[in-house]
Amino acid sequence: MAFVQAFLNGLLVGGVYALIASGMALIFGVMRLVNFAHGAFLMLGTYLSFYGWVLLGLNPYLAFPLWGAVLFALAVGIYWLLVRRVMGASDFLQILLTEGISLALVGLAQLLFGADYRQINLPIANRIASAGPLHFSVGYILSFTVSLLLVIALQQFLAHTEMGRAIRAVAQNRTVAPLMGIRVERVSAITFGLGIACAGVAGALLLPIFWTNPTVGAPYTLKSFVIVVLGGMGSVQGAALGGLLLGVAEQFTAYTWADRYAEVVNFVIFLLVLLFRPQGLFGGKG
């Protein structure tokens, strides 16, 4: 039974991973930019959620659209100010720039919020729901459900709206898209905003079941890139599946081997997939 429990726990965490990684995949797919600041924006999401609850009494499960909007606006601003300038440049400079943004955000958070661990006590998130011999924290179920709904909403948005079509067009061909009347800069700014809003909302949803501090986001940058690689670079659906898969893989390692090696599994999976199946587990073409 513990086996089933580990599997389901993995799926629940994996739902949030799916949301984080969808944002990363969107940014990578459309802008060919590896966002090393992804985890830092997730961290900002946790703090927005934290202060929203502590100062304003806003329940993270209701207020997350607001935090998403705040991060969307911030990300669009950062795009116009900084990221735009390296869009044509080499990966080398792009990575260094987003790494710089990440360090600056983490550093600012340390200055503003201090380095302490913070947690909120949300009554509903701490309840336990039981189904026979299986037990789940309601917080995990809520975070999982909201995350998956958002991932589906993002996919629907990309598939069926005018802006979604424009985003996909830019992802397909950055040179031809403007000939079709698409404003590539604007699409890029919106893509960057959406991708970061995913990370930020995921952070807001993680807070009730986790804790936060300024460096809480660091592992998620790597995790989401691992997932993006698993799912096939730039594929949002692939990233959603990859997120669930990574969540399960981590829980299984923790269950069968040792909790502390769960992190290593990420990296090993990452290196193996890159070396032997660089098109991703679900990707068709190489």
Partner 1 sequence: MRLVRRWWPTVLFFAVVGSMPLWITDGYVLQLIFRVLIFAVLGIAWNFIGGYAGQLSLGHVAYFGIGAYAMTLSAERIGWNPWLGVLLGMILAALGALIIGSITFRLRGPYFALSTIAAAEIIRVLVQNQDELTHGAVGTNAPLLFEAPNLDAKFFLGAVPILAGAFALATWIHGSRFGYRLRAIRENENTAMAVGVNPAVDKLKALIPSAVFTSLAGSVYASYFSFVGPDTVLNIEISVQAALIAMLGGAATVWGPILGSIVLTLTSEIFKNYFEHTHLVVYGLLLIVVVIFVPGGLVSLFQRRGQLRRQAGPIGSVQG
Binding site for partner 1 (CB under 8 A): 34, 82, 85-86, 89-97, 99-108, 110-111, 115, 218, 222, 225, 229, 258, 260-261, 263-264, 266-268, 270-271, 274-275, 278
For partner 1, give the closer residue by CB, 71 or 205. Answer: 71
Other residues' Cβ atoms within 10 Å of the Cβ of residue 179: 8
Shortest reach from residue 227's CB to partner 1, in Å: 12
Shortest reach from residue 276's CB to partner 1, in Å: 11
Backbone φ and ψ of 197, nearest 5°? -60, -40
For partner 1, give the closer residue by CB, 3 or 91. Answer: 91
Shortest reach from residue 267's CB to partner 1, in Å: 4
Q: Tell the residue number behind the tokens 């969307």, with chain if given.
A: 72
Contact (Cβ atoms closer than 8 angstroms) between residue 199 and residue 42: yes
Shortest reach from residue 160's CB to partner 1, in Å: 30
> How much helix, strand and coil, in percent to the nearest 5, is found in the chain?
75, 5, 20
Output b/e per residue, 29-54; b: 16+ Cβ within 10 A: bbbebbbbbbbbbbbbbbbbbbebbe
For partner 1, give the closer residue by CB, 180 or 259. Answer: 259
Q: How many CA atoms lie within 13 Å of 131's alpha carbon, on the beta-carbon side?
A: 8
For partner 1, give the closer residue by CB, 115 or 152. Answer: 115
Shortest reach from residue 218's CB to partner 1, in Å: 8
What is the amino acid identity at position 255?
Y
* DSSP state at residue 118: B
Which long-range CB contacts under 8 A does 249-253 form with residues at least 24 apart? Answer: 249/10, 250/10, 250/13, 251/6, 251/7, 251/9, 251/10, 251/13, 252/6, 252/7, 252/10
| Helix (H), strand (E) at residue 49 | helix 38-56
Shortest reach from residue 242's CB to partner 1, in Å: 15
For partner 1, give the closer residue by CB, 4 or 274. Answer: 274
For partner 1, give the closer residue by CB, 142 or 269. Answer: 269
